[in-house]
Amino acid sequence: MSILVNKNTKLIVQGITGRDGSFHAGKMKEYGTNVVGGVSPGKGGQEVHGIPVFNTVEEAVKATGGNTSIIFVPAPLAADAILEASEAGITLVVAISEGVPTLDMVRVTPYLKKNGTMLIGSNCPGLISPDESLVGILPGNIFLKGNIGLMSRSGTLTYEMVNQLTTSGLGQSTCVGIGGDPVAGLYYQELLQLFQDDPDTKAIVLIGEIGGDVEERAAQYIKEHITKPVVAFIAGQSAPPGKRMGHAGAIISSGSGTAEEKILAFEKVGVQVARIPGEIPELLKKLMSK
């Protein structure tokens, strides 16, 4: 089993004729993802890697039955691309675009909720259910099918953590890079519940980072709703206050959002927190053997 994407995913690539869209459309198709179409206004009728190109998402959905879309368009146009996908009936949108204005995401969020559209991102690496479907820019060769669910604010740490899991023989059900922007789509609480409800996910890894209070809220949600083992890691443990560490949302402001606060929040609800990523496989094995 998996969450969000699987062999039934029919993917549409928005911005497929651009450099990044074209490259990753080919990589996703090569992995085995069912890429049914692409969208690039004014270039309908073309093909990219054997994938038909349409002028609008609505045309692509009608012709292919697409249910998921991935967005590779410039940041100033990303919000409109997300809305176009939602209005066309796409149920899951994965926005790879980096630098999307925060106010654009604030504008988009209520429309997605009204339409029942789920969003991953923006500024994220996407997600993968190993051996089923890759929707994003993740390196498919490092993933191993299994029963560990993973969610992360950091793309780079996603790759590092998955490599640690795979080399330790711990396969993954689904891995989701949620992105590190201040306003984003599905976040820890929604993903925790999806993994909780997935019968083939036996344990969960949560990778957080400094800034905001989403990890603290996730800790409380775990206490109240999650019965499966959860192991966490918080990046930015040595970050000084007021200095942004990579992501727009990764900043300690007014003394809040520190790694120490987040670690304490998890430990208070019984979630084991690794001090370095390499500790996570052994923590998982101990928890899953109980």
Q: Look-up: residue for tokens 């270039």?
A: 43
Active site residue 49: no
What sign for the dihedral angle of Cα 35, 157, 227, 109? Answer: negative
For residues 289 and 95, what is the distance between their CA atoms, to the nearest angstrom?
Answer: 37
Neighbours of 83 (CB within 10 A): 19
Structure tokens at 59: 């045309």
Structure tokens at 279: 């500790």
For residues 50 and 56, what is the distance between their CA atoms, to the nearest angstrom?
Answer: 18
For residues 247 and 135, what is the distance between their CA atoms, to the nearest angstrom?
Answer: 21
What beta strand segments (E) does the chain contain? 11-14, 35-39, 47-48, 51-54, 68-71, 92-95, 118-121, 126-129, 133-136, 145-152, 172-177, 203-209, 230-235, 272-274
Contacts of 133 (CB under 8 A, 6+ apart): 2, 5, 6, 7, 9, 11, 32, 33, 34
DSSP-derived 3-state class of residue 252: coil
Q: How many helices (H) and strands (E) does the chain have?
A: 9, 14
Positions annotated as catalytic residues are 247
